[in-house]
């Protein structure tokens, strides 16, 4: 089988780090590059956090620093969730590797324009890098195979009652991406909040006995309490579900629907308005993940972690 070419766009971040672990070693994925954006924390943290994961696991993938601020909105970060460093929990050696000199947005434009239209973008942070690339070179829209992202919510948000963090941080960027015409699959909060790593999952991954399993455990042990959902002692691995959707869509229940980003400056600013019952009779521009088979999901994650050092 031909591998799926993908670029991961992330704001590392706990679940971003695990998404990177899965994307970099899944046998059906060719991870071309990792672009980094500000989101969970500022770029001067998300970029080294990404490099730390790459260095720690000896990954052979280029990393590019991208947009440090949202396009319009004032910057907001989630240090209440991800800690002071943006990736509190694991302890890494001193950083010896560097990001590429090229800016992430230029890298995206260059790589997409030189491609045969066979590259999938997997953004798991605010959509600033992707939107900026579309603004700077609109021709890339035709070159993107599709976008599979983590973000938005059908129901209740986590940043506001209406908006999920990745979309809320840069709603204007999200609007550009969602109205671009590119095929989009979206893994919303409603689904990702069910992919919870509890003590049992953490023990299972640690028991693999390699560096990746231990890193998973160190990362998710931090989130047990800081990101606990519904009072449970378990942390969601949101971003991972976008990567696994790419290689195992059969694990998901999905529905195609029209999704719009609310840009009005009221209480719904940054909401992904998901027309699940087709009230607007508009084009169904997004495939939305509604449910995931968690047993097979964790089997898949474990299988990929075993392929690491
Ligand atoms: C999203 O926000 C970030 O905190 C996570 O990394 C994930 O991408 C969940 O709302
Ligand atoms: Ca993220």
Sign of CA dihedral 132, 135, 141, 147: positive
Q: What pTM was computed for the model?
A: 0.96
- What pLDDT is stored for residue 101 in this prediction? 98
- What pLDDT is stored for residue 63 in this prediction? 98
Across the chain, mean pLDDT equals 95
- What pLDDT is stored for residue 230 in this prediction? 59
Q: Which ligand is nearest to the CA of 15?
A: 1
Q: Are 13 and 87 in contact (CB under 8 A)?
A: yes
The response to whether residue 15 sits with its C-beta less than 6 Å from ligand 1 reads yes
The response to whether residue 196 sits with its C-beta less than 6 Å from ligand 1 reads no
Mean pLDDT within 31-35: 98
- What pLDDT is stored for residue 85 in this prediction? 82
pLDDT band at residue 110 using 50, 70 and 90 as cut-offs: very high
Q: Which residues are catalytic?
A: 11
pLDDT in tens, 121-178: 999 999 999 999 999 999 999 999 999 999 999 999 999 999 999 999 999 999 999 9
- What pLDDT is stored for residue 233 in this prediction? 76
Where do the domains of the chain lie?
Answer: 4-305
E runs forming strands in the chain: 4-10, 29-36, 63-65, 119-123, 144-150, 184-187, 196-198, 234-236, 252-261, 272-275, 286-292
User: Cα–Cα distance between 126 and 72 in angstroms, integer?
Assistant: 12
User: Cα–Cα distance between 95 and 197 in angstroms, integer?
Assistant: 28
- What pLDDT is stored for residue 231 in this prediction? 66
CATH topology of domain 4-305: Inosine-uridine Nucleoside N-ribohydrolase; Chain A (3.90.245)
User: Cα–Cα distance between 40 and 15 in angstroms, integer?
Assistant: 10
Map residue 38 onto helix, strand or coil.
coil
pLDDT in tens, 171-225: 999 999 999 999 999 999 999 999 999 999 999 999 999 999 999 999 998 887 6
Question: How many angstroms is it from 149 CA to the middle of ligand 2?
Answer: 10
Residue 228, pLDDT above cutoff 70: no
Q: Are 213 and 207 in contact (CB under 8 A)?
A: yes
Residues of the chain with pLDDT > 70: what percent? 97
pLDDT band at residue 252 using 50, 70 and 90 as cut-offs: very high
The response to whether residue 164 sits with its C-beta less than 6 Å from ligand 1 reads yes
Question: How many angstroms is it from 194 CA to the middle of ligand 1?
Answer: 14
Question: How many angstroms is it from 7 CA to the middle of ligand 2?
Answer: 14
The response to whether residue 222 sits with its C-beta less than 6 Å from ligand 1 reads no
pLDDT band at residue 84 using 50, 70 and 90 as cut-offs: confident
- What pLDDT is stored for residue 229 in this prediction? 59
Mean pLDDT within 32-50: 97
């Amino acid at each position: 089988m031909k591998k799926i070419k993908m670029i991961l766009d992330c704001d590392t971040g706990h679940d971003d780090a695990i998404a990177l672990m899965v994307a970099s070693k899944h046998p059906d994925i060719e991870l071309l590059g990792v672009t980094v954006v500000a989101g969970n924390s500022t770029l001067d943290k998300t970029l080294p956090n990404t490099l730390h994961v790459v260095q720690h696991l000896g990954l052979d993938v280029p990393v590019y620093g991208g947009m440090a601020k949202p396009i319009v909105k004032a910057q907001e970060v989630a240090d209440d969730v991800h800690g002071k460093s943006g990736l509190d929990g694991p302890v890494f050696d001193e950083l010896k590797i560097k990001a590429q000199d090229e800016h992430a947005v230029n890298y995206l434009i260059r790589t997409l324009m030189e491609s045969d239209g066979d590259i999938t973008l997997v953004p798991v942070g605010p959509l600033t890098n992707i939107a900026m690339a579309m603004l700077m070179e609109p021709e890339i829209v035709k070159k993107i195979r599709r976008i599979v992202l983590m973000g938005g919510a059908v129901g209740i948000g986590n940043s506001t009652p209406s908006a999920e963090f990745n979309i809320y941080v840069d709603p204007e960027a999200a609007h550009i991406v969602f109205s671009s015409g590119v095929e989009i699959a979206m893994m919303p909060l409603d689904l990702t909040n069910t992919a919870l790593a509890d003590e049992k999952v953490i023990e299972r991954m640690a028991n693999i006995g390699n560096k990746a399993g231990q890193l998973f455990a160190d990362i998710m042990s931090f989130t047990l309490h800081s990101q606990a959902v519904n009072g449970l002692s378990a942390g969601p691995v949101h971003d991972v579900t976008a990567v696994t959707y790419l290689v195992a869509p059969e694990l998901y229940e999905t529905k195609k629907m029209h999704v719009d980003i609310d840009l009005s400056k009221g209480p719904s600013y940054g909401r992904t308005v998901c027309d699940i019952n087709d009230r607007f009779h508009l084009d169904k521009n997004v495939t939305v993940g509604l449910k995931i088979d968690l047993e097979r999901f964790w089997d898949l994650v474990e299988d990929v972690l075993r392929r690491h050092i």
